Amino acid sequence: MSEQGIARKATVTTPAEREIHIERIFDAPRERVFAAHTDPELIVQWWGRREDETTVDEMDATTGGKWRFVSRGPDGEHAFRGVYREVTPPERIVQTFEWEGMPGHVSIDDATFEDLGDGRTKIVSVTTFHTAEERDGMLSAGMEKGLNEGYAQLDELLAR
């Protein structure tokens, strides 16, 4: 992996009171980056914090399909689930996201995969919450740290 890839972090902003906006560039073609988000054998290699082991209980990465991932780490087991509202390869994924530790608090993730034309891909993701408090709770729970650790592992996977 390049030195640039090691230091790369996602840009995380809050442009509206119920949204988190994330941008990140990967040194890989769009089709490979998209596949890493929709193939259960690849998800387990990068999703989540570095100290966690992620398993895929369910993953039907098609419009209307469901997903459920379980992460196990030093602080216990955490399960996450959702439904794919739209899957348009290799351009866009819209899905719900729910941490099972707080059932009923469901956000919507809308991710676009932009081909930068030079073997690189930019992911732009907008997550919308029901309330500003739910958004702030996600931010205070360490979401940005886990996201950046997962994306660093995705860089490593894409470099192989």
Full set of structural domains in the chain with CATH: 3-159 (3.30.530.20)
C-alpha to C-alpha distance for 55 and 97, rounded to whole angstroms = 16
Backbone angles phi, psi at 156, to 5 degrees: -65, -45
Report pLDDT digits (tens) over 5-63. 445 899 999 999 999 999 999 999 999 999 999 999 999 999 999 999 999 999 999 99
pLDDT at 7: 59
C-alpha to C-alpha distance for 15 and 5, rounded to whole angstroms = 26
Residue 133: pLDDT over 90: yes
pTM: 0.93
* C-alpha closest to that of 87 among 134, 129, 34, 131: 34
Report pLDDT digits (tens) over 77-124. 999 999 999 999 999 999 999 999 989 999 999 999 999 999 999 999
